[in-house]
Structure 1
């Protein structure tokens, strides 16, 4: 029994398969970049909050600065937990954010993004 070789349409099927693979990779890369952007914004907000805290030694101002930075980045600050604390000469601001994203064929997923920053208070110009 001899097999009949018919290659008609195989190039079309291969092209369609590769096209789908490329689409999945591009969409996955886009979601990854959105997550990296959110992390970067949260990290910047923590750093700016800690900087404000080290300059003013006021927790409320530090948290408000972090909230403003999150808002500027388009992140909902009501979904973030922002804490500021003082340990010796260090001023620390930590942010925990619940980040939701959509994965095709798997649905909605969530991830916790955490970031923090520490600034040291070296000296006070008022005490010199």
Structure 2
């Protein structure tokens, strides 16, 4: 969910980084990180209507009530790009919190310009404190 102000700020940061580190570093920042597990796709390569398995760290969690139905929405970041995972009818999921590392599988859609997977199958890989803890 990028606002016009957010994209201007991102472009400013890229220009600033380019000045400090050279164009090679900026290009390297745009390259998606290659996942360690076979079958896992970098988020940047996840296309609409494609069934994918992605892996990353939970950065943001939000509970969004929508017409009397709770909706758990989180942003998954793989180090290069992000997408949203949305569970309809859920207020929380044990083991999922900010900093948790997840592997999720589902079909990619685009909602309000953001890649989203609704009700994905998921596996909690670990947390930022270490595996399982």
TM over 0.5, yes or no? Answer: no
Structure with higher helix content: 1
Q: Over alpha carbons, which structure has the higher Rg?
A: 1
Structure with higher strand content: 2
Q: Could you tell me the TM-score, scaled by structure 2's length?
A: 0.27
